[in-house]
């Protein structure tokens, strides 16, 4: 019984905003299956009483004074965008217009 | 001087520059010449802005020497932002991206007088152990051009080994500084999580990534760490822990140092030549006065599985920002929705390994699988960390091989991602535990490929591992061996 199916790979690709070719779907299904099979070894461990480690530093909320400091100017930032119109970043149309 | 200028270590060059025996311009010309004659074969560099490098050398020449790295050219991995220089993470999706600011480490290098030399090749977004996943083509190992340099900081390791950089910065998420350092016969140091600011490092896995030096010897690694380490208010995960003068403290010797040898690191899959070299190195450490004893890291075998869940989960989130909107590259096909623009841009912008990791990371975080994979891996991470905590109650340092084999051939592991992942088996647990680790040269295979020894210490005990690595280096001659790189004239 495979750990992941081609159909699931397509769903995950959609969640990840990747369009995959049929060949990629075939390859990733097989490769992800092998990797997921390998990581099953973690199921052998008893972890009920273990607390999770998200990162290793003894840090909670890191706060700073609410002060205005210099930041990048809008033109510098807008100039990085692959497509822009004036001072705006341009993207394909999001809002459909009502017919008629 | 009998040796060519480019063959000096960074600290030797810094001394010569400070004393006025060498001018910054001479240092720059020497290393640019070396870069030109070796890069066609090795392809360690993605780009060098020779004009900017020369201009910076001129500016420095008009000043009195000041700073720990005054006039020393240092090269930078392509995932660390250098203002106005194209920084791509060796990915098509960041083609043309010129950061509007310096990473903190770059600022710190420049504040100490260093000259930023160029950008070094890497696995795309640091996803890999061989530098084969770079969108810009492979880097070759200076010791054998038919083999990989390791990865993901393969360009950094190859440049330092071939003397086309006096020193370099890399990043290490699962071994990406130490493993290529071992495979190219140089020194590579991954600092404690939080030791070095990551502001300006393009994120792969935020709970694991650290920036660190790749260097010609241990003294250079200590010198560079001293410069780049320390608290930075712009990185809330950087630690407010004082930075000791690492270089001054190298010479304390090994008398009384307690070293643990984890038995789990000497099992099947370890190349016999690597095993022999590491066992010989342990003998040397004993002769130098260290007390070496076996120890155990019982959960070591789970490190690779834990890592490939956590690192890919974090990577899939971090890479969501590359969508063709704010920076980098976009598929600008005139028709189609915003969603299709995202999908096309990411499908064409990311290479196969990046897609594979985004897919795996998205899957383990997705509804219905989160508890079985991600939540469980976070718990196993605790068990792995506790193994190290216990070991460091008894020992000052741990010693292991850096990589299970010397450098492999191009293509050898490309079809089988899992076998590639397993080449990081000795380095990965170190990132999960957040502790510092260093790789130093400890021998060569019969075919002349370098082998690395890994030394580990408790969090923020870089001083101890540098001290052990330095004592070992001074007692052996491995670091003085140089690869013979066939020089070529670049075709223009």
Which residues, listed in sequence order, are joined to residue B258 by a DSSP beta bridge?
A: B291
State the pLDDT confidence band at B490, using cuts at 50, 70 and 90. Answer: low
Count contacts between A and B (CB, < 8 Å). 159
Nearest by Cα to B429 from B407, B408, B456: B456
Determine the average pLDDT of the residues in B157-165. Answer: 98
Contact, B180 vs B174, CB < 8 A? no
CA-CA distances (angstroms) from residue A36 to A5, B308, B423?
12, 10, 18
B309 contacts A39? CB cut-off 8 A: yes
A91 contacts B325? CB cut-off 8 A: yes
User: What percentage of residues in chain B have a pLDDT greater than 90?
Assistant: 94
Task: Using a CB–CB cutoff of 8 Å, tell me whether A53 touches chain B.
Answer: yes
Closest partner residue to B380 (CB to CB) among A38, A47, A56 is: A47
Q: What does chain A come to in residues?
A: 100
Structure-block tokens of residue A66: 């609410």
Burial of A38 (0-12, 13-18, 19+ CB in 10 A): middle
* Model confidence at B1: pLDDT above 70: no
Region of poorest pLDDT, from A15-19, A61-65, B287-291, B453-457:
A61-65
Chain A, nearest residue to B325 by Cα: A81
- Say what the pLDDT of residue A2 is: 86
Cβ neighbours of B347 in A, within 8 Å: 18-20
Structure-block tokens of residue B170: 């890399």
Task: Report the distance separating Cα A53 and Cα B378, nearest Å.
Answer: 5
The pLDDT mean for chain B works out to 96
Interacting residues of B312 by C-beta distance below 8 A, sequence separation 6+: B357, B358, B360, B361, B364
State the pLDDT confidence band at B332, using cuts at 50, 70 and 90. Answer: confident
Pairing of strands B187-190, B210-215: antiparallel
Task: Report the distance separating Cα B27 and Cα B25, nearest Å.
Answer: 5
Task: Using a CB–CB cutoff of 8 Å, tell me whether A46 touches chain B.
Answer: no
Backbone φ/ψ region at B150: left (φ over 0), alpha (ψ -120 to 50), beta: left
- Say what the pLDDT of residue B74 is: 98
Cβ neighbours of B366 in A, within 8 Å: 12, 15
Q: Which of B77, B190, B216, B413 is flagged as catalytic?
A: B77
Could you read off the pLDDT of B406-454 as tens digits, one per residue? Answer: 999 999 998 888 888 888 999 999 999 999 999 999 999 999 999 999 9
A59 contacts B383? CB cut-off 8 A: no
Which residues, listed in sequence order, are joined to residue B75 by a DSSP beta bridge?
A: B168
Q: Which of B153, B176, B238, B445 is flagged as catalytic?
A: B176
CA-CA distances (angstroms) from residue B289 to B254, B276, B277, B285, B398?
5, 20, 19, 7, 15
Q: What is the CA radius of gyration of chain A?
A: 23
Task: Report the distance separating Cα B479 and Cα B50, nearest Å.
Answer: 29
Chain B, nearest residue to A15 by Cα: B362
Could you read off the pLDDT of B364-407 as tens digits, one per residue? Answer: 999 899 999 999 999 999 999 999 999 999 999 999 999 999 99
B320 contacts A42? CB cut-off 8 A: no
Task: Using a CB–CB cutoff of 8 Å, tell me whether A6 touches chain B.
Answer: no
Q: Which helix (H) or strand (E) holds B317?
A: helix B303-318
Nearest by Cα to B164 from B11, B6, B3, B1: B6
Class of domain B5-298+386-480: alpha beta
Task: Report the distance separating Cα B162 and Cα B38, nearest Å.
Answer: 8
Determine the average pLDDT of the residues in B259-272. Answer: 93
Determine the average pLDDT of the residues in B7-32. Answer: 97
* Model confidence at A100: pLDDT above 80: no
Residue B77 bears catalytic tag:
yes
Which residues, listed in sequence order, are joined to residue B438 by a DSSP beta bridge?
A: B189, B455
Residue B176 bears catalytic tag:
yes
Domain range summary for chain A, segments of one domain joined by +: 6-44
Q: How far is B344 from chain A (nearest CA, A)?
A: 6
A81 contacts B326? CB cut-off 8 A: yes
B327 contacts A80? CB cut-off 8 A: yes
* Model confidence at B246: pLDDT above 90: yes
Chain A, nearest residue to B414 by Cα: A31
* Model confidence at B335: pLDDT above 90: no
Chain A, nearest residue to B208 by Cα: A55
| Neighbour tally for A54: CB within 10 Å | 11
- Say what the pLDDT of residue A60 is: 78
Q: Among B91, B310, B363, B460, which would you mutate to test the A interface (most chain A Cβ atoms within 10 Å of its Cβ)?
A: B363
H helical segments located in B172-240? 178-184, 218-228
- Say what the pLDDT of residue B492 is: 45
Q: How far is B363 from chain A (nearest CA, A)?
A: 6
Cβ neighbours of A41 in B, within 8 Å: 301-302, 305
Could you read off the pLDDT of B48-93 as tens digits, one per residue? Answer: 999 999 999 999 999 999 999 999 999 999 999 999 999 999 999 9
Could you tell me which CATH number the domain at A6-44 has?
A: 1.10.20.60
State the pLDDT confidence band at B333, using cuts at 50, 70 and 90. Answer: confident
Structure-block tokens of residue B129: 């152990």
Determine the average pLDDT of the residues in B18-29. Answer: 96
B383 contacts A52? CB cut-off 8 A: no
Which residues, listed in sequence order, are joined to residue B189 by a DSSP beta bridge?
A: B438
Closest partner residue to B363 (CB to CB) among A32, A50, A55 is: A32
Phi/psi for B314 (5° steps) reads -65, -40
């Amino acid at each position: 019984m495979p750990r992941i199916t081609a159909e699931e790979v397509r769903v995950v690709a959609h969640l990840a905003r990747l369009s995959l070719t049929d060949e990629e779907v075939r390859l990733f299904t097989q490769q992800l299956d092998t990797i997921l099979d390998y990581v099953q070894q973690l199921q052998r461990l008893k972890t009920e009483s273990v607390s999770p480690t998200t990162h290793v530093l003894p840090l909670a909320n890191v706060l700073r004074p609410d002060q205005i400091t210099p930041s990048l100017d809008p033109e510098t930032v807008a100039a990085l965008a692959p497509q822009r119109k004036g001072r705006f970043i341009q993207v394909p149309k999001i809002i459909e217009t009502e017919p008629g | 001087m009998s040796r060519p200028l480019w063959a000096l270590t960074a600290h030797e060059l810094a001394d010569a520059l400070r004393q006025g025996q060498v001018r910054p311009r001479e240092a720059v010309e020497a290393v640019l010449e070396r870069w030109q004659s070796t890069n066609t074969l090795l392809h360690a560099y993605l780009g060098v802005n020779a004009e900017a490098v020369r201009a910076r050398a001129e500016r420095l020449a008009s000043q009195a020497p000041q700073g720990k790295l005054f006039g020393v050219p240092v090269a930078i991995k392509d995932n660390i932002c250098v203002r106005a220089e194209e920084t791509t993470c060796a990915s098509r999706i960041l083609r043309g991206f010129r950061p509007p600011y310096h990473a903190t480490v770059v600022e710190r290098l420049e504040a100490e007088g260093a000259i930023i030399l160029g950008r070094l090749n890497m696995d795309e977004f640091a996803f890999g152990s061989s530098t084969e996943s770079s969108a810009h083509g492979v880097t070759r190992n200076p010791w054998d051009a038919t083999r990989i340099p390791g990865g993901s900081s393969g360009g950094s390791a190859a440049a330092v080994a071939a003397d086309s950089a006096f020193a370099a910065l890399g990043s290490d998420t699962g071994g990406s500084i130490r493993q290529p350092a071992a495979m190219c016969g140089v020194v590579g140091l991954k600092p404690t999580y939080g030791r070095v600011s990551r502001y300006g490092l393009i994120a792969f896995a935020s709970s694991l990534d650290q920036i660190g030096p790749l260097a010609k010897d241990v003294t250079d690694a200590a010198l560079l760490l001293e410069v780049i380490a320390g608290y930075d208010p712009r990185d809330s995960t950087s630690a407010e822990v004082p930075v000791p003068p690492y270089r001054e403290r190298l010479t304390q010797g090994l008398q009384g140092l307690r070293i643990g040898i984890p038995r789990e690191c000497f099992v099947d899959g370890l190349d016999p030549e690597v095993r022999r070299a590491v066992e010989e190195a342990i003998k040397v450490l004993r002769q130098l006065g260290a007390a070496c004893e076996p120890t155990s890291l019982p959960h070591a075998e789970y490190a690779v599985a834990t890592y490939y869940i956590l690192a890919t989960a974090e990577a899939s989130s971090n890479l969501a920002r590359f969508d063709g909107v704010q920076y980098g590259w976009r598929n600008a096909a005139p028709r189609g929705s915003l969603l299709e623009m995202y999908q096309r841009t990411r499908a064409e912008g990311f290479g196969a390994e990046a897609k594979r990791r985004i897919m795996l990371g998205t899957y383990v975080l997705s509804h219905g699988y989160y508890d079985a994979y991600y939540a469980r891996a976070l718990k196993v991470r605790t068990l792995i960390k506790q193994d190290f905590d216990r070991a460091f109650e008894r020992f000052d340092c741990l010693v292991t091989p850096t990589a299970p084999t010397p450098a492999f051939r191009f293509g050898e592991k490309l079809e089988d991602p899992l076998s590639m992942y397993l080449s990081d088996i000795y380095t990965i647990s170190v990132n999960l535990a957040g502790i510092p680790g260093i790789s130093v040269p400890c021998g060569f295979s019969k075919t002349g490929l370098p082998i690395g020894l890994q030394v580990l210490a408790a969090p923020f005990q870089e001083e101890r591992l540098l001290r052990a690595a330095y004592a070992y280096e001074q007692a052996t001659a491995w670091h003085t061996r140089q690869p013979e790189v066939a020089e070529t004239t670049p075709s223009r």
